[in-house]
A and B are shown apart, each in its own frame.
Chain A
Amino acid sequence: MIKFDNVTHFYNTNQENKIISLSKINLEIQKGDFVAIIGSNGSGKSTLAKHINGLLLPSNGNVFVENFNTKDIEAIWNIRKKVGIVFQNPDNQLVATTVEDDIAFGLENIGIKEKEMKKRVDWALDIVGLNELRNSEPHLLSGGEKQRVVIAGALAMHTSYLVLDEPTSMLDPRGRKEVLEIIKRLNREENITIVYITQFMSEATQFKKIFVLDKGEVILTGSPKIVFNQAELLISLGLEVPQITKLARKLAESGLDIPYNILNEDEMVEYLCSYI
């Protein structure tokens, strides 16, 4: 379990000025959860992500990963084995000259023996479906493939929590699909906890639970149905609402008995069938 206990984080810009990036965050993410974190620019989502694996430490409060405190210097490497993180820019996370070597990078860092390394690298390559590309050079891969390599690198570390900070922002639709499919599979089949930060509402609707951040605070939590029922709130926070949800609202306001929080086309078609 990942636990944020009254976490506040601020940057000091100079003697007097403080920019508060996180304010009294209290949240829990259980093992096996499939959660999304949304929020407008500056809401603190990236800062929150970096707190989970100790890249940033709370100014006040504590972050626990399975009872290890991220402030504990002895524990931090253990935490980073358990918590893998995927960033936005696919290019700037790949270190080695081939896919295989990059996946092995993390394992080399934690001193895994050669034979075990080979096993893990093969396994990770298999899960993300990149076996044929194992000897490829990073610059020849598509965006989606690059992110899959990064995910494989985390998997090889036997990570239990995968944090993804807007991993599809720089990808084309195909790449976005690849990434989403993989993390769904990882959650379903390997029980890996997924914490997914995104600005695409069409992605957020696919998660089981959503945390909505604004100005460093958690404003709203709940299933997509609950969260997207509050379209006005979301819009006031600078977030968008899926096209289909906007349509549902308008139809409901025109008198049709349709819930506000329809999230995809199939649902909409079902409801409309009783009317037309």
Chain B
Amino acid sequence: MAVILIIIAIFLVKSWSGLVIIGAYLFINIFLAKVHPKFVLKGIQPLIVILLFTLLIHFFTTQGEIIYRIWVLNITREGIQRGLFIAVRLFYLILSTSWLTLTTSPISLTDGIERLLSFLKIFKVPAHEIAMMMTIALRFIPTLMEETEKITKAQIARGADFESGNFIKRIQNFLPIIIPLFINAFQRADELSIAMEARCYRGGEDRTHYRQLLITNTDYIFFIITLIILIGSYLLII
């Protein structure tokens, strides 16, 4: 929950000091969560290119006081300011989502989402069903990935080529993987639903939960602190 709030905060923050506060908050939390910085950095790796790109775009395209000139492109002061600001915001965004995924197991995540969504039950949101779908998806992703590998290898052994050809041809070439995969997935779904019915599954009514998500006092305090930071960073203007 706190993560959602922080993300909102990141979007709303307007000032540099606001940024500093959020940054401090994030770093402290990550430190407290005992997550090794290495993992966090790994999460950022793929997105470094986007970060750089964002930076540069803003450097070059913002109107304002020109500081530097490379070839035909102008770097403005405002550009640098804006670029950095937005880049840092992006950075925080990535950081906070990493923080969430690195500290929470998938089951807890789906359980948590189910809990949160259950408040929306009054609006007829099928919270349990959504959570169930997510759990099953998580459970089957590795299995389906293995299946994809097997199918791909089998088709290669029959001479299929997934590397050459133009764009359209390449998409066509993937049919021998996609179709068997879909059929496989549907067969699994069919068998799984029968097995679930045999185990008395009948939707979300009157279901109990093996894993208890307890909201403790610590959680409340944490929530309030985050809320304060959210409001604070929004209000700061410098």
Contact = CB atoms under 8 A, between A and B. Distances in A.
B200 A77 contact: yes
Given A95-B139, A96-B139, A97-B138, A110 B200 contact: yes
A81 B200 contact: yes
B208 A108 contact: yes
A117 B208 CA distance: 9
Contacts of A96: 107, 135, 139
A145 interface: no
A94 interface: yes
Interface in A75-94: 77, 80-81, 84-85, 87, 89, 91-94
A44 to B, nearest CB: 17
B134 to A, nearest CB: 10
B198 A85 contact: yes
Interface string B153-169: 00000000000000000
Contact of B209 (A85, A98, A106, A108): A108
Contact of A97 (B139, B199, B206): B139
Contact of B192 (A92, A98, A139): A92
B71 interface: no
Interface residues of A, number: 40
A114 to B, nearest CB: 6
A48 interface: no
Contacts of B191: 87, 89, 92-93
Given A89-B191, A93-B191, A106 B200 contact: yes
A105 interface: yes
A137 interface: yes
Interface in A42-101: 53, 55, 77, 80-81, 84-85, 87, 89, 91-98, 100-101
Contacts of A124: none
Interface residues of B, number: 29
A139 B142 contact: yes
Contacts of A85: 195, 198
Interface string B68-90: 00000000000000000000000
Nearest to B205: A111
B45 interface: no
A111 B107 contact: no
A91 B194 contact: no
Interface string A101-130: 100111111111110011001000000000
A176 B106 CA distance: 32
Interface string B186-220: 01100110111111111000111111100000000
A145 to B, nearest CB: 14
B184 to A, nearest CB: 10
B143 A97 contact: no
A138 interface: yes
Contacts of B136: 95
A114 B210 contact: yes
Contact of B207 (A89, A94, A109): A109
B198 A108 contact: no
A107 B139 contact: no
Given A91-B188, A101-B210, A108-B207, A80 B200 contact: yes
Contacts of A262: none
Given A95-B139, A101-B107, A109 B200 contact: yes
B208 A55 contact: no
Residue from B138, B139, B200 whose CB has the most chain A CB atoms within 10 Å: B200
A117 B210 contact: yes
A275 to B, nearest CB: 51
B146 A139 contact: yes
A77 B106 CA distance: 30
Given A77-B200, A91-B188, A94-B139, A108 B146 contact: no
Interface in B137-154: 138-139, 142-143, 146
A275 B158 CA distance: 56
Given A55-B198, A108-B209, A111-B206, 7 more contacts: A55-B194, A77-B200, A80-B198, A92-B187, A95-B192, A114-B212, A139-B143
27 contacts: A55-B194, A80-B199, A85-B195, A87-B191, A89-B188, A89-B191, A92-B195, A93-B191, A95-B135, A95-B195, A96-B107, A96-B139, A97-B135, A97-B138, A101-B107, A101-B211, A104-B210, A105-B201, A106-B199, A108-B207, A108-B209, A109-B200, A109-B201, A114-B209, A139-B143, A157-B199, A157-B200
Interface of B: 106-107, 135-136, 138-139, 142-143, 146, 187-188, 191-192, 194-202, 206-212
Please list the 6 inter-chain residue pairs (A to B) with the smallest Cβ-Cβ separation, ordered nearest first: A104-B210, A92-B191, A106-B199, A93-B195, A139-B142, A109-B200
